[in-house]
Amino acid sequence: MKRKTPESSQPKATRGEHQFYAEREYADSIFRDAIGDRAASIAALKRALEAMPTYAPAILSMGSVEYQLGRIAEGRELFQSLLSLPKQTTDIRQIIDEAGTFLTQSKAYEDGMALYRTAVQRYPEAPELWDGLGYCAGSAGLYEEAVAAGQRALELEPENQRSVNDLGWTLVRAGRFVEARETLERAVSMDPSDKLAAENLRFCVRKMARRRIGKAGKSRAARRGPRTVR
């Protein structure tokens, strides 16, 4: 039996009813995916968007599916549509960040950067989006933009230890080892149990030792001049 939707059974459904149908179909898509029925999961997502094209969780999931299926243009359009939803949309900043994280982890850096750059203009006070921009930019090798984004995230949320660690690692990748060490030392002091921050700090210190970088940030080996090759 065909599942009823607002269009087929209630053409004059209210916004609340449309959202109910969208939420129901979205929940069904999650269940279908969990039991391995991918086709049924995608079908449920499509029904969710038919019921309510602006339902952000379904846009995020369907956009991810489109990218995974190689329909890049369709996925890009869905993700970009998140940026035009009303600012009061439930969890919209988190959902945009999840879309950006998906793109970064999929190595779709150009699309990820485009999404995050627009997102931080629309939500300039959202530290999670600046942090996401830094993550994407760093993964794409755009280290200076990554550092600037990480610094902005910390300006907005200075006690966020994870962001401190992320910035420290970005500084390592940018080759700014003295700043990186200072930042990572702060991350470790903020949460001594954070094994990732501690390992990042050890890695930074080892890099500095190999390059013989002092506290002033200069290479001691370089000041001695080039070695004579025998």
Q: Which residues of 145-171 are buried (b: 16+ CB within 10 A; e: fewer)?
A: bbbbbbbbbbebbeebebbbbbbbbbb
In a domain, 139, yes or no: no
Domain that holds residue 203: 159-221
The answer to the question of residue 97 being in a domain is no
Type of residue found at 146:
A
User: Which DSSP letter does residue 159 get?
Assistant: T
Q: Distance between CA atoms of 215 and 181, rounded to whole angstroms?
A: 10
Distance CA 4, CA 226 (A): 77
Task: Decide: helix, strand or coil at residue 230.
Answer: coil
Is residue 90 included in any domain, yes or no?
Answer: no
Q: How many domains does the chain have?
A: 2
Rounded (5°) CA angle 198-201-205: 140
Contacts of 90 (CB under 8 A, 6+ apart): 56
End-to-end alpha-carbon separation of the chain, Å? 84
Question: Is residue 9 domain-resident?
Answer: no
Q: Report if residue 171 sits inside a domain.
A: yes
Residue 15 confidence (pLDDT): 82
Which one of 10, 44, 66 terminates a domain? 66
User: Per-residue pLDDT for the chain (230 aa), expressed as one digit of tens each?
Assistant: 455 555 555 557 798 899 999 999 999 999 999 999 999 999 999 999 999 999 999 999 999 999 999 999 999 999 999 999 999 999 999 999 999 999 999 999 999 999 999 999 999 999 999 999 999 999 999 999 999 999 999 999 999 999 999 999 999 999 999 999 999 999 999 999 999 999 999 999 999 998 876 555 554 433 333 333 32
What SS3 state is found at 169? helix
| pLDDT of the residue at 211 | 82
Please tell me whether the overall predicted TM-score, pTM, comes out greater than 0.75 for this model: yes
Q: pLDDT at position 230, please?
A: 29
User: What values do phi and psi take at 226, rounded to 5?
Assistant: -65, 145
Please check whether residue 75 lies inside any domain of the structure.
Answer: no
Task: Determine, yes or no, domain membership for 170.
Answer: yes
